Structure 1
Amino acid sequence: MEDFRERFIMCCQSTFPCFRDPANNTSSGTEKRDIKVIVNEGAAKRANMTLPPTPVEKPGYVYVALYDYTARTEHDLSFNAGDKLEPLRKEEDWWYARGITGISANKEGYIPANYVAPIESLDAEPWYFPETKRLEAEKMLTSQKNKNGAFLIRNCESQQGELSLSVLDNGKVKHYKIRKLENGGYFVSKTRSFFTLRDLVEHYSRNEDGLCVCLAEPCKKTHGLSYNTVDHWEISRSSLKLLKKLGAGQFGEVFEGIWNDRTAVAVKTLKTGTMDPKDFLREAQIMKKLRHARLIQLYAVCTTEEPIYIITELMSHGSLQEYLQKDKGASLQMSDQIEMGAQVTSGMAYLELQNYIHRDLAARNVLVGDNNVCKVADFGLARMENENVYEAKEGTKFPVKWTAPEAIHENKFTIKSDVWSFGILLYEIVMFGQMPYPNMTNFQVVQQLPKGYRMPCPLNCPKYLYDIMSECWKDSPADRPTFETLQWKLEDFFDMDLKQSFDEQV
């Protein structure tokens, strides 16, 4: 013990002057002394070890990345989830930042602001979306980027101070209240509580324990092409490469393309001389205002020379009509078809809420991506409702077999005429893209509808589903359901006894 004490004192004396004997600690400016230093070998070894760098972060100034992000232009900054970044200039949705750690350390560029959060805060958790509303949570979770079990935690709208857990379960979003205990803990079920939200998430990520599904990855977020196109929709034509034609119409063609050799896109072109470019670009103007997981997203436009381009997200399987016709029941089940219809009503319910009418809702104007994800497209005829009614100009051509009687005879379009069209779209889905009113001409349809004629229930169509079609085809627009109602009716189909539903066919 004494030996250890002596060695400790000697080590301190060799390292810290204040521990030295004052009698031996005096020196003149010119006198040199032989100093014998006793080195502690363990201390020397530790001194030579590689230590973590001294933290340079300032609370509130350093952020942690919640997700991976790959730069899409030379002005962007790539980073991986967990990297630390320092914002140098904040500009609404996109910040100019410097990388502190990770693949872009000491580099600068633009980053999407909602991909990062202040370090050491709850906001740094990728599943924490405090200001997200219930409807917005459903839109985000049902994005094609999310897989089953995707989730987020947000503030509860109905009860201030409470939290909600929103979880994606087989295409539908379930919501659970997270309650707080007096001691500060949290619980979903009274049978089990947790000290922190992180503990709660970790537990339900391993066990369903009463939830609809185990929590998987946090909800993902999406953006446009890059920082440059957020507020400036115009992009250079030279940045686009058209790869192959996807389709053609009266006014132009649609191509699969690639932007900046990085991002797959769809490019809709206007054939020179076929229509007023202003009318063509009206579609883009409408799409700028409308953002929903079940509506095709606008990326950019090219308008400085002809042909004019509208650039949107690319849907891998093309139109719903073509997709259904190719499948012919080979792999799609009735549950898949109903889910497709429910997705369309979700997008249309959003248009309904925004007071827009589509005027050309049909399977040909719905696009399909991976995993049967459906999005409403072709807003060329979409209009803002004025006093709930839009009156078409005389001579306007209609897709007769999809158009409501009051729109055909009185040129009056409302969201309820879109509901009529949705009933026809449901028929297309059930019949795998078959033309509605088979064996009838447009003229015959126009003559028979006012007399009460309606298409009979398709073969193998559940009565429950045909009843929904029939409600869409009510004579009086006021008697037709809203898209919000149609959405929950189709979603409720999955909660029914499917066998009983199929047994009750007409």
Structure 2
Amino acid sequence: MEGCCRSCMPCCRRLWDWCWPGFRYPRVPNHNTVISNPGAQAAEIRTVSGDVRVPTPKKRPVQLYAALFDFEARCDDELSVREGDKLSVLEQRGEYVLAKKVTGSLQAGLIPANYVALLQDEFAKHKWYYGNINRVKAEKLLLAQQNKDGSFLVRISESHSDEYTISARSEGKVYHFRIQRSVIGAYFVSDKLSFGTLGELVTYYQKNPRSLGVQLVEPCAQQQRL
């Protein structure tokens, strides 16, 4: 009724406003309106104060699991694993977990929950792991007289707390290689080759120095706390 009265007798607008008070929403703009910058992305919206970029959500560190036993899939929904396989658990489903392999075929499927276990921080046991030291400290340690070419260490990345860096001495200089994490928790320096654990990555590049470009011979000789 309100719409009919307003359209038939617009001259009585004040009367209609008195009869039907309340907030009236503005008209929706025509969908054929041309945007001044059609190439603009949603992450860059121009406002009166300038361009504003929406910050990228911080990536949560991925928890890594290991298969405790061999398991053969009995249907298409299940995942075959071998003891020691590294997995990323996506969700719990009753007595099963939906898991995804972090290396190799990257397949996903259901596994009995009691067949997997969370891997704790295993890096501290390695002599090459120096934890939370910065680039300058790493270079000072590696260039000390106790170390020669081929000395190396692994440290937590200064810019990404859930990633790591290999610092290695070669020809009297120190080179740094960022170890990134994939969305399923795998470790990699090159996106062509990933590993389930940090230890596996280091061992591979120790045996294949050409892949990294420098030799990883011995862990840094000077102790971490010096």
Instruction: Give your verdict on TM over 0.5.
Output: no
- Per chain length, whose mean CA-contact separation is higher, i.e. which structure has more relative contact order (CA < 8 Å, sep 6+)? 2
What TM-score comes out, normalization by structure 1 length?
A: 0.20
Structure of greater Rg: 1
What TM-score comes out, normalization by structure 2 length?
A: 0.44
Q: Which protein has the bigger strand share? A: 2
